[in-house]
Structure 1
Amino acid sequence: MEIPEGKKIYFASDNHLGAPTMEASRPRERKFVAWLDHVKQDAAAIFLMGDLFDFWFEYKTVIPKGFARTLGKLAEITDSGIPVYYFVGNHDLWMSGYFEDELNIPVFHTPQEFTFKMNTERSRSTFFIGHGDGLGPGDKGYKRMKKVFTNPFFKWLFRWLHPDIGVRIAQYLSVKNKLISGDDDAKFLGEDNEWLVTYCKSKLKQQHYDYFVFGHRHLPLDIQLNANSKYMNLGDWIQYYTYGVFDGSTLKLKEY
């Protein structure tokens, strides 16, 4: 992707809109929409790194109620010609066409490689981008659970629930189990114990990337992996309101 002069790439993750209730999350939604208005002024592209919603499931003709401000703003941005890319998180695994068809937003279910280049320079920067869930060592219980959640048969069974029932059950379980940002997620485990850091270092043994960008941890992290590679976790829009910005040469973590 070529970055025009004066433009930037923006990254944000983990809004969990709708949690703990729709009403309680509305001020956070308004703040996020204000951020989208702010960054669209010089955005070459916007990457949303998952868990924009605390729960999202697409029936064939139904989507969860709410989020009108966010969805409308995203449609406005893509209609203006600014590309937006979406990576599903562990709370919105069940995207299956609505963002692509209605908002013109490509949706990725696995991490992806991107190369960014300023059109005035020869240098290129390589990125490895994803939500971050299920990567690295450990967390075997979640990895097994994710296989169930993404299994076509179990998704087909869930669709037989009336949306009023299915969405209500899923929202209750999400908040009940403190999946927004549990206490463990909010603690820095030390570089040697951060499983996404371990994952990034393992990837670097196979191929060089200038930057790894993930969400999921709900903790803003900016860690130098070696002399030429950096890992960034984007934090969240529940407590930190942090985001990443790449100007063609440097990736920085900022607070809105």
Structure 2
Amino acid sequence: MKKVYFASDQHFGAPTAELSFPREQKFVAWLDEVKKDAEAIFLLGDLFDFWFEYKTVVPKGFVRVLGKLAEIRDSGIPIYFFVGNHDLWMNDYFEKELNIPVFYDNQEFTFNGKTFLIGHGDGKGPGDLGYKRMKKVFTNPFFKWLFRWLHPDIGVRLAQYLSVKNKLISGESDVKFLGEDNEWLILYAKRKLENKHYNYLIFGHRHLPMIHAVGENSDYVNLGDWISYFTYAVFDGSTFELKTFEN
């Protein structure tokens, strides 16, 4: 088989469009590289630091990233997008314009006999109660309707400010390994394995690249980010690896 690629937490647009632009260029170069042998590409959320779809308006910018995704998808390579906590207000733009399915929660996939549980990872596991409460507000249809009534120049500017400044909203934390008993996503992965076996449980959100054994032939994987690490994962049909993109 060809290779399956995974990446997460690019946060394009943060902290400013100008400072984000070199990272966008690097990510586009990565997409150009992996499209040569990709069976599928998984993007596990927070591609943008903020994203909100009005009925006829989406945030401007990111044209090179969106164009490259369209080019790859038009070539026949499947791309799967998982909504993160920064782009959870995604609607149907990716599906209609790019033919990329959008998922709002974990999904199961099988490649070459290996089972994968894949998601962004926000709000999973014990703890993180402040963010979980905030997410209920963000995803409430009434509050989304209220926000939609803000003019995009106001709404987008306000949301971008909060996204960068407020760690409760961003879901970010100090990216240091907290120990197996304190990493919420590791605990969540172990709980999921109590009901069903997966070879790989792959998430983003944590911004800390790691592969951690959580059971017999089961690994929890965090993809890191494209802010500090520029990491991604690749599965070639038998071997699963975390790698750093050098460009």
Distance 1:196 1:181 in 2: 13
Partner of 2:188: 199
Match of 2:216 in 1: 227
Match of 2:66 in 1: 71
* Partner AA of 1:133 in structure 2: D
**Partner in structure 2 of residue 18 of structure 1:** 13
Say whether the 8 Å CA contact 1:19–1:180 is kept in structure 2: no
Question: Which residue of the partner structure matches residue 80 of structure 1?
Answer: 75
The answer for unaligned runs of 5 or more in structure 1 is 118-123
Counterpart contact for 2:85–2:170, Cα < 8 Å: no
**The residue matched to 2:122 in structure 1 has which SS?**
coil
Q: In structure 2, how many angstroms separate the alpha carbons of the residues matched to 1:66 and 1:34?
A: 17
CA shift for structure 1 position 226: 2.1
Q: Determine whether 1:210 maps to 2:199.
A: yes
User: Structure 2 stretches of 5 or more lacking a match?
Assistant: none
Q: TM-score, normalised by structure 1?
A: 0.93
Matched, 1:127 2:116: yes
Q: Which residue of 1 aligns with 2:101?
A: 106
36, 48, 56: which one aligns with 1:53: 48
CA distance, structure 1, for counterparts of residue 215 and residue 101 of structure 2: 32
Kindly indicate whether the alpha-carbon contact (under 8 Å) linking 1:47 and 1:85 is maintained by their aligned counterparts in 2. yes
TM-score (norm 2): 0.97
The separation in 1 between residues aligned to 2:175 and 2:127, in whole angstroms, is 18
Aligned residues with identical type, % of pairs? 74
Partner Cα distance (1:199, 1:148) in 2: 23
Q: Kindly indicate whether residue 240 of structure 2 is the aligned counterpart of residue 251 of structure 1.
A: yes
CA RMSD of aligned residues (A): 1.1
Say yes or no: does 1:173 pair with 2:173: no
Within 1, Cα distance between the matches of 2:215 and 2:14? 37
Q: Secondary structure at the match of 2:181?
A: helix
- How far does residue 56 in structure 1 lie from its aligned partner after superposition? 0.1
Would you say the 8 A contact 1:16–1:180 is kept in 2?
no
How far apart, CA to CA, are the structure 2 residues paired with 1:177 and 1:133?
16
After TM superposition, the runs of 4+ consecutive aligned structure 1 residues lying more than 3 A away are: 178-182
Question: What is the CA deviation profile of residues 26-84 of structure 1, one whole-angstrom value per residue up to 9, with x for unaligned ones?
Answer: 00000000000000000000000000000000000000010000000000000000010
What is the Cα deviation at residue 113 of structure 1?
A: 0.7
- Which residue of 1 is the match for residue 91 of structure 2? 96
Aligned to 2:226: 237
* Change over 3 Å in CA distance of 1:38–1:180 after alignment to 2: farther
8 A Cα contact 2:85 2:171, kept in partner: no
CA distance in 1, matches of 2:145, 2:155: 12
Distance 2:125 2:144 in 1: 26
| Deviations, residues 149-194 of structure 1 (Å, cap 9, x unaligned) | 0011110110000001000000011111246684x33111011211
Partner of 1:121: none
User: Which of 163, 183, 190 does residue 152 from structure 2 map onto?
Assistant: 163
Out of 161, 174, 180, the residue aligned to residue 185 of structure 1 is: 174
Quote the offset at 1:23 in angstroms.
0.6
